[in-house]
Amino acid sequence: MVAKWKQKQRIILPPELPPEVSEDEIEVSDEDRDFVDQNREFAGFLTTLDTQSITKHVTRVADVKEDALEALYEKRLKRKSLQKEKEDPGIQVDRVDALPVKTLDGQLYYRTATKASKASENDPTEEEASGAADKSIVKLTKAERRAKLKKSKKEAKKQGKEAEPEVEQTPQEAVLAEVKEDLTAEEAFESKKNKLAELGIALLADPTSNTKSLKEILQICKDNNHAIVKLGLLSLLAVFKDLIPGYRIRLPTEKELEMKVSKDVKKMRFYESTLLSVYKAYLQKLAALEKQSSFQHVAFRCICTLLDAAPHFNYRESLLGVVIRNIGSPDDVIRKLCCSTIKSLFTNEGKHGGEATVEAVRLIADHVKAHNCQLHPDSVEVFLSLSFDEDLGRAARNDEKHKPQSKKSKKKKHYEEARQLKENDKKRSRQELLTKTREEVAADYKAVAFTPDVMERRGMQTEALSAVFETYFRILKHTMHSSTSRSEANASLSTGASEPHPLLAPCLKGLGKFSHLIDMDFMGDLINYLKKLASGGSDSENTSKCLTVSERFRCSIVAFTVMKSNLDALNVDLQDFFVQLYNIILEYRPGRDQGEVLAEALKMMLCEDRQHDMQKAAAFVKRLATFSLCSGSAESMAALVTLKHLLLKNVKCRNLLENDAGGGSVSGSVAKYHPYASDPNLSGALASVLWELNLLTQHYHPAVSSMASSISSMNAATNQVYLSTISPQQAFTDFSLERPESFKPPSEVTLLYQLG
């Protein structure tokens, strides 16, 4: 009976409660609700459950009876320990603890020890352990045990921290730790590299089946390692260059998605949509990375390569916008990448049919306008790579000639067919259906044709050309206004200052190249602008001082190029440009100004097939001889070649080679030479002598000295063909100091002969 009563008094522990979850985190799906609504007859027992009894059974020990339960466990353990002590004869009372000990509960007990405790008298660690065991006899509550455990953990942690600095790591161990870290980093790097290679090879082998690999490579591009990110970007670049189709992807509409299609069509649609979405995400990643200095070069390399390889594909506008925004970047690498990409677009119009060219030209024009013409010269110099087909206008005119005949013949045939088919309605409807079908076929053929229509190409070419000339005229106008404002503000600028108009030089080059395409209505305004920029007269003296010598030379060159291209249509006096050339020749400084521009101006204005007045030719001969004395060998050679060309064309100017006491034998209208005259016609150069040639024969450069000697003995010389055929540009290039092989000093015997 006692055993049965003890079994009844035995407490059965409740099952463990499930983890607590807040009501906000519990989410009931729509499927669960639908299931309960559909099966309400099977869920009726949930409404009859006695929740109070369940809660009482589960939580009966949780609140009040928890301490009582623990006390019951402790009493049971004490009972077992007392029974063991009675049964075990080896347990005896210690002599020190002969008296009983009273606990906090009011109970008396004797401290006991085993036989092994005698051995522990000499061992202090055993005594400490026994003391700790004695202390543990006093039972603590649950909260006290938790606090004690927490305190012991804190003390152990503190002791560990205090003990850490005491353990010093040897140099060998530190090196080994670093090597292990490096090895693990290298292994991770190699594994990611191999994964990129595997994904790329799988994509190139079967793109439609491994489309998800694109997303995996894009995910790798988000790695924390910069080298892995760069490899991922370049891997995606190589993959996209190979996978991008030769057409723009058009996603299906909602109506098209509702239609039933084959499995192949579904597979192709999924492939194209995935390719386009990953491509868009890739471009967004590049746009974000191009603003970071550590990824700029890689990002721009990917952007420029994609635009160059697939200018016909989707999101071309975003790529063009990024490239043209950085076409004038201060970073040389980025600027050269962007400029080379735009030049490639202009030269390879077959890839995009000319549409990208028009967009790029329009964006560059807006970019120049937004920055008020203050950009790097390369941003406008890309226009020189444009090419315009002049045969489009002829083809259009030929089409217009043939079109009226074809329309008349079509109308005539249609009238005859309608007359014949009046009585038969079926034949008439059939003929209309055939005509409609032919028109649809022609429209589809035109849409898929590789080359655009002639009228479309002509329209795109006209739009691009108008944008180019709009940019050029804006630069000229800005130069005029800025120069006028500087002169009004009395800004102290010298001709050797840094160029305040960076876009003027490429603008003038472009005007010279496309001068034959300029509309005649704007030709007069262009010549007036160039005259004001290049002239040194009283009206625009301050304006000319704001430009460099090279820019003023270029203005004259462009004016002569425009006149040469439109010789039959224009009748403009170019005397002002000759006056400007005569005045600014002496302002030229080697090293500061561009010698190639000077040589081109001399060739264009003085050496072309143009007959000059005798006074003007003599003035330029005298001015070029003076210029040769104070210039480098290349500039002196270009000037002497021009001088000899003028003497060969104007026989009377050879009188300057005579050494009369009163000057040349022909004085002309002006009897005395005025070296400081601004107008070559009023200088009176025929009354002077070319004494400069005598000094030039002693020049340090053998080519210059031999040229001066040949000019001095021109009347007696017989072999003058080679030197007369050399142009100033060729002479400057051949004898420039940048080519050391062109300078061969004479021997000592030659020097002694020339000096003696």
Q: What is the pLDDT of residues 398-437, one digit of tens each?
A: 544 444 444 445 555 555 655 555 556 666 677 778 888 8
What's the confidence (pLDDT) of residue 540?
46
Residue 654 is classified by DSSP as G
**To the nearest whole percent, how much of the chain has pLDDT over 90?**
17
Which of the pair, 441 or 358, is modelled with greater confidence?
A: 358
User: Distance between CA 702 and CA 633 in Å, rounded?
Assistant: 10
Report the 10 Å Cβ neighbour count for 695. Answer: 13
Report whether pLDDT(491) > 60: no
State the pLDDT confidence band at 726, using cuts at 50, 70 and 90: confident
Reading the block at residue 49, the tokens are: 């459950």
What's the confidence (pLDDT) of residue 425?
64
CA distances to 24, 60, 365, 381, 729 from 477, in Å: 69, 95, 14, 18, 30
Question: Which residues lie closer than 8 Å to 501 by C-beta, 6 or more apart?
Answer: 373, 475, 478, 479, 482, 547, 551
What's the confidence (pLDDT) of residue 739?
55
Residue 182 is classified by DSSP as H
Which of the pair, 746 or 334, is modelled with greater confidence?
A: 334
Q: Are 483 and 546 in contact (CB under 8 A)?
A: yes
Reading the block at residue 655, the tokens are: 């009188």
The mean pLDDT value for 613-641 works out to: 90
The mean pLDDT value for 252-257 works out to: 86
Which of the pair, 605 or 572, is modelled with greater confidence?
A: 605
Domains and CATH numbers, the chain: 183-391 (1.25.10), 515-610 (no CATH), 613-719 (no CATH)
CA-closest candidate to residue 726, choices 632, 616, 602, 550: 602
Report whether pLDDT(39) > 90: no
The mean pLDDT value for 533-544 works out to: 55
Give me the half-sphere count of Cα atoms (radius 13 Å) on the Cβ side of residue 75.
Answer: 8
CA-closest candidate to residue 541, choices 475, 481, 484: 484
CA distances to 19, 44, 342, 651, 671 from 659, in Å: 120, 135, 60, 17, 16
pLDDT in tens, 255-296: 888 888 888 888 899 999 999 999 999 999 999 998 888 899
Q: How high is the mean pLDDT of the chain?
A: 76
CA-closest candidate to residue 1, choices 9, 83, 11: 9
The mean pLDDT value for 707-721 works out to: 67
Helix (H, G, I), strand (E, B) or coil at 93: strand
The mean pLDDT value for 152-173 works out to: 64
What's the confidence (pLDDT) of residue 499?
47
